[in-house]
């Protein structure tokens, strides 16, 4: 059993497919329990991710389909990428098929809630491993409205074998669970929007094992 992280320590979230790292990002730990891990990130944090995905982000999403095909093939290269523009607080449910994020602007004003549907988290000595399954949900700061996002990419990932029938059933159940939580303001959605004052925090960095330079 891997250790729990103390507040202020660095935890690395990795997306992993078939034993190969697709992305690795260091975050500052806010809280770690048996049920969930809460971390924070801010502009300037540097992580590693597929170079094709980096190009797609720079191209306003163009080329994401190619990046998903590369992920399914198991053939990709990693490159350095710096987080930009927003402060983010993320709630990783260890046994859940989703992750809940809160985004803030540079002045710590709330922008949105964002739900990533992903695999249950595997604890490691670095942090947690999971895999983003492409499907997302975006909600207003007051949870008054929400919308689904990237369902076409989710379908593509299913066709390419990234999402098994078993995981698809779990994602369907997770969709229902997340919507119920939003409507009832429960679970991670019951957390307040206390601004994250990260200016004095020491920047988390990746360990030497990720140095590909």
Q: How does pLDDT run across 140-166, given as a tens digit for each residue?
A: 999 999 999 999 999 999 999 999 999
Distance, in Å, from the CA atom of 91 to the CA atom of 99, rounded to the nearest integer, reads 6
pTM more than 0.85: yes
- In sequence order, the 6+-apart residues with CB closer than 8 A to the CB of 99 are 90, 91, 92, 93, 115, 116, 118, 130
What is the predicted pLDDT for the residue at 192?
66
pLDDT band at 57 (very low <50, low <70, confident <90, very high): confident
Please answer whether residues 47 and 25 qualify as being in contact, where contact means their C-beta atoms are separated by less than 8 angstroms: yes
What is the predicted pLDDT for the residue at 198?
63
> In the predicted model, is pLDDT for residue 101 greater than 50?
yes
pLDDT band at 204 (very low <50, low <70, confident <90, very high): confident
What is the predicted pLDDT for the residue at 34?
94
pLDDT band at 59 (very low <50, low <70, confident <90, very high): confident
> In the predicted model, is pLDDT for residue 212 greater than 80?
no
Parallel, antiparallel or unpaired: strands 127-130 and 10-17: parallel
Give the number of other Cβ atoms within 10 Å of residue 63's Cβ.
16
Please answer whether residues 28 and 41 qualify as being in contact, where contact means their C-beta atoms are separated by less than 8 angstroms: yes
What are the CA-CA distances from residue 195 to residues 88, 110, 144 (Å)? 10, 8, 20
As a whole-number percent, the residues of the chain with pLDDT over 90 amount to 78
Q: Which of 46-50, 114-118, 193-197, 199-203 has the lowest mean pLDDT?
A: 193-197
What is the predicted pLDDT for the residue at 208?
74
**Average pLDDT over every residue of 50-67:** 87
Dihedral, CA atoms, 183, 119, 170, 93, nearest 10 degrees? -40
Phi, psi of 166 (to 5 degrees): -65, -45
pLDDT band at 213 (very low <50, low <70, confident <90, very high): very low
> In the predicted model, is pLDDT for residue 58 greater than 90?
no
As a whole-number percent, the residues of the chain with pLDDT over 70 amount to 92
Asked if the 10-210 domain carries CATH number 1.10.357.10, the reply is no
Please report where in the chains the tokens 């929400």 appear, as a residue: 146
Q: What DSSP state is assigned to residue 42?
A: -
> In the predicted model, is pLDDT for residue 22 greater than 90?
yes
Q: What is the DSSP string of 90-137?
A: EEEETT-SEEEEEEE-TT--EEEEEEEEEPPPEE-SSEEEE-EEEEEE
Mean pLDDT rounded to a whole number for the chain: 91
């Amino acid at each position: 059993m891997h250790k729990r992280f103390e507040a202020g320590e660095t935890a690395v979230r990795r997306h992993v497919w078939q034993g190969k790292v697709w992305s690795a990002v260091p975050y500052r730990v806010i809280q770690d329990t048996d049920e969930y891990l809460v971390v924070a990130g801010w502009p300037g944090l540097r992580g590693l991710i597929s170079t094709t995905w980096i190009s797609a982000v720079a191209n306003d999403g163009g080329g994401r389909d190619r990046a998903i095909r590369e992920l399914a093939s198991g053939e990709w290269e990693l490159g350095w990428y710096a987080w930009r523009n927003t402060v983010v607080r993320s709630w990783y449910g260890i046994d859940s098929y989703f992750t809940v994020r809160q985004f803030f602007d540079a002045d710590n004003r709330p922008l949105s809630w964002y739900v990533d549907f992903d695999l249950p988290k595997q604890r490691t000595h670095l942090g947690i491993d999971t895999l983003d399954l492409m499907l997302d949900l975006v909600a207003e700061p007051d949870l008054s409205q929400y919308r689904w996002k990237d369902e076409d990419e989710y379908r593509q990932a299913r066709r390419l074998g990234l999402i098994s029938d078993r995981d698809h059933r779990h994602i369907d159940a997770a969709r229902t669970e997340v919507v119920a939580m939003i409507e009832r303001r429960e679970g991670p959605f019951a957390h307040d929007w206390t601004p994250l004052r990260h200016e004095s925090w020491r920047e988390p960095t990746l360990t030497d094992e990720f140095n590909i330079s």
